[in-house]
Amino acid sequence: MTAAGTALVRRPGPRLSDGIVTHLERRPIDAGLAARQHEAYVAALRSAGWRIRAVAPADACPDAVFVEDMAVVSGGIAVMGRSGAPERRDEADGAEKAVRDLGLRVEWITEPGTLDGGDVLQAGDTVYVGRSGRTNEEGICQLAHLLGGRRVVPVDVEGCLHLKSAMTALPDGTLIGVPEWIDTTALPGLRVAPEPAGAHVVVLGEDHVLLSTSAPRTADLLAADGLRVTTVDIGEFEALEGCVTCLSVLVP
């Protein structure tokens, strides 16, 4: 199988249960189950042809498994985020080394800008960026400058953690999501996901997507559209407001 690219992942650490919860009621996390779910997630990426590269552990950081928030990759550049949650900023060091090892040029979001990778959705030539509790206007402006000529569209986010908690893109560029959580003014043609977890789609290939098992109606809908659908159980991470996009950085 020809590799689709490289997937950066970071295993869950021993403090996972202390992860930040903003919009959900906290419940206990089963660390052993979380580890098995993460292994199954990584196996799904590998089976789809992605090379797996482990980012160095950051065991002092409970949310470090959500590695997507640390870096935005576009072409030959990796923009390192500066989380609006200060306690997450130490997670960036290992992610920076990982993207440098791939030969990417590294740039940084700097103070007073804040930006989490989970707020950045790339769909074709357009980059949608969530204006959220983790990403501010200055961070969006810095990202737009660093990405050069790409079209950057800010999107207000309410009721969820990140833009990609509310919407993602299908292989053909169609947006799918939960309109109640975002300002849809700049999002013509947003397809409504049958359930909230259906807003979280990872594109594994030109006709292949990854979803959580908590979105069975969305999985059936996309399969009926002719897409190949792989599902994984990530319930322990969803309890911490994570989703399938959060657990990797895909570098084509």
Query: Torsion over CA of 106, 127, 250 and 12, rounded to 10 degrees?
Result: 90
Encode pLDDT of 116-134 as tens digits.
999 999 999 999 999 999 9
Taking the mean position of all CA atoms in its chain, how far away is CA 194?
Answer: 20
Q: Quickly state the pLDDT bin for 3 (edges 50, 70, 90).
A: confident
Of the listed 61, 160, 243, 246, which one is catalytic?
246
Statement: residue 112 has pLDDT above 90: yes
Statement: residue 246 has pLDDT above 60: yes
In three-state secondary structure terms, 182 is strand
- Residue 89 is which amino acid? R
pLDDT of residue 188: 81
Q: Distances from the Cα of 170 to the Cαs of 1, 21, 68, 120, 157, in angstroms?
A: 22, 27, 18, 15, 20
Task: List the one residue out of 94, 18, 6 whose CA is nearest residue 50.
Answer: 6
Provide the domain count of the chain.
Answer: 1
Any residues with CB less than 8 A from the CB of 183 and at least 6 apart, and which?
155, 156, 157
Q: Quickly state the pLDDT bin for 1 (edges 50, 70, 90).
A: low
Statement: residue 83 has pLDDT above 70: yes
CATH number at residue 49: 3.75.10.10
pTM for the predicted model, two decimal places: 0.97
Encode pLDDT of 138-196 as tens digits.
999 999 999 998 999 999 999 999 999 999 999 999 999 999 999 999 898 899 999 99
Task: For tokens 């013509």, name the residue.
Answer: 188
Structure tokens that stand for 153 in this block: 């569209």
Mean pLDDT of 69-88: 97
pLDDT over 70, % of the chain: 99
To the query of whether residue 141 is one of the catalytic residues in this protein, the response is no
pLDDT of residue 186: 87
Q: Distances from the Cα of 56 to the Cαs of 33, 86, 224, in angstroms?
A: 21, 20, 39
pLDDT of residue 217: 98
Encode pLDDT of 20-70 as tens digits.
999 999 999 999 999 999 999 999 999 999 999 999 999 999 999 999 999
Mean pLDDT of 224-243: 98
Of the listed 38, 162, 200, 243, which one is catalytic?
162
Statement: residue 237 has pLDDT above 70: yes
Structure tokens that stand for 118 in this block: 């989970």
To the query of whether residue 38 is one of the catalytic residues in this protein, the response is no
| Parent domain of 189 | 5-251
